[in-house]
Amino acid sequence: MATSAADLLFRHPARAVVIGFALMVAAGTAGLTLPVATTSGASAGWVTALFTATSAVCVTGLVTVDTDAHWSVSGEVLITLLIQAGGLGIMTLATLLTLTVSRRLGLRTKLAAQAETKTLTMTSLPHIVRNIVLFSLTCEALAAAVLTSRFILGYGQPPGRALYLGVFHAVSAFNNAGFALWPDNLMRFAGDPWICLTIAAASIVGGLGFPVIFELLRGRRCRHWTMLTRITVAATGILLAAGTVAFLAAEWDNPKTLGPLDDGGKLLAALFTAVMPRTAGFNSLDISQMTHSSWLATDVLMFIGGGSAGTAGGIKVTTFAMLAFIVWTQFRGETHVNIGYRRLPADTQRQAVVITMLSGGLVAAATYTLLLLSPHPLDQALFETVSAFATVGLSTGITADLPAAGQLLLVALMFAGRVGPLTLGSALALKTRARRYDLPEEQVIVG
């Protein structure tokens, strides 16, 4: 029997995820090129539309134009919808639609949604997808309520405008998108804990990952947590604390960042700045005026990213933590990698190494290419490529100045960073081949 196009497409569910995101980017690009999407009434160029649509669907936040000044209300609403769709996952939304219409799932739909949501079993998938959507909307509604109240009471915004700002930034924060409706992003709110802490909290919750969030909501004791939850929570706390200390040390006396703030304001701004490289992408400090030490610290935090199966990007904190445990095990001379009272499978270790190597190689190649395409120095080019690949959205201010080829390079990086190097590679592979024999071992000198 001949293989149909549908069978070939869905033989590996990761391929459906890649194609789903590509179609959403294409649809968003088409929508943003319409004259009604811009404030001027003129059609946006296809490069600008493609860049913005990719940044929204891939929940990145890099922009080449001022979001509020360039895009009309219709354009901003479309961007919000693209952010929401990208955050929840194209396959998650497709599964929810299937549940609504037919009340049952086919095997292909289950496999496709499982690949996107990272669920470990398919039997509970309908319940999990419903929880994902309900939890996401609830978190966004809570964040929007706090932000809307603050905009009304603290800044005198009319209720309608305050609600619009609250909803837009709540969706952007929970989905780790980093889009803002002010030219300076959130710099004008650097000393406002209501704004900064609400957006930071929404970004952290969205970036932890749905499996971790659901387990935390069950109220189980720490010793009963799964390895995924233990690693994610511990690594997230350590990275947030380390990032806050690093930014305080590097920017304390910088007159263009933390310098003018009081001690409380400095701590708030440093904490907010440490949260955002987890791929949230907002900034309350001028990134272009930060020290080179802070740029390097941000590069590291962006590359690591947030939790698995959430709205964050990067190689993920779980991958980073597993590599750390692998190194620690090697130093101790042990044969198995143990985390707590559990052993880490060998195939999971290989996946962590592969993801890190592919990601590092892709960032290095993109940085080299961007240096050829633009006059910007290495530190700024590296910052830009890491931000794009990790779907963060922070920038030193060079995004709009890049040539069209450089912006298209960032588009490719954002897309690859969202679907994941390993997912993208497996989607392009026609099939996996299992070797039916083992070769004899031979030792090789390392180091």
Look at residue 433 and tell me if it is in a domain.
no
pLDDT at 104 over 60: no
- pLDDT tens track for 70-86: 999 999 999 999 999 98
Confidence (pLDDT) at 121: 53
Q: What region does 435 belong to: left with phi over 0, alpha with psi -120 to 50, or beta? A: beta
pLDDT at 208: 86
Of residues 11 and 367, which shows the higher confidence score? 367
Can you give the pLDDT at residue 241?
A: 96
| Residues of the domain holding 262 | 9-117+125-425
Is residue 446, in this structure, part of any structural domain at all? no
Q: Is 435 domain-assigned?
A: no
Strand partners, 339: 342
Give the per-residue pLDDT at 33: 95
**Has residue 70 been placed in a domain?**
yes
Q: Which residues is 342 bridged to in the sheet?
A: 339
When comparing pLDDT for 226 and 201, which is higher? 201
Q: Which two tokens stand for residue 267?
A: 């701590």
Which range has the top average pLDDT, 298-302, 325-329, 421-425?
Answer: 298-302
Residue 252, in any domain of the structure: yes
Number of structural domains the chain divides into = 1
Which of the four pLDDT bands, split at 50, 70 and 90, describes residue 6?
Answer: very low
Contact 78, 85 (CB under 8 A): no
Backbone angles phi, psi at 192, to 5 degrees: -100, 105
Output the six-digit token pair for 198.
Answer: 């609400």
Assess if residue 176 is contained within a domain.
yes
Q: How far apart are CA 278 and CA 211, in angstroms?
A: 18
pLDDT band at 1, cuts 50/70/90? very low
Average pLDDT of the segment spanning 19-44: 93
Is residue 434, in this structure, part of any structural domain at all? Answer: no
Residue length of the chain: 447
Note the pLDDT of residue 95: 52
- What was the pLDDT predicted at 115? 56
Residue 10: what pLDDT? 47
User: Which of the 8 DSSP states describes residue 343?
Assistant: E
Would you say residue 220 lies in a domain? yes
Q: Which of 83, 44, 78 is nearest to 64 (CA)?
A: 44
Check whether 32 has a pLDDT greater than 70.
yes
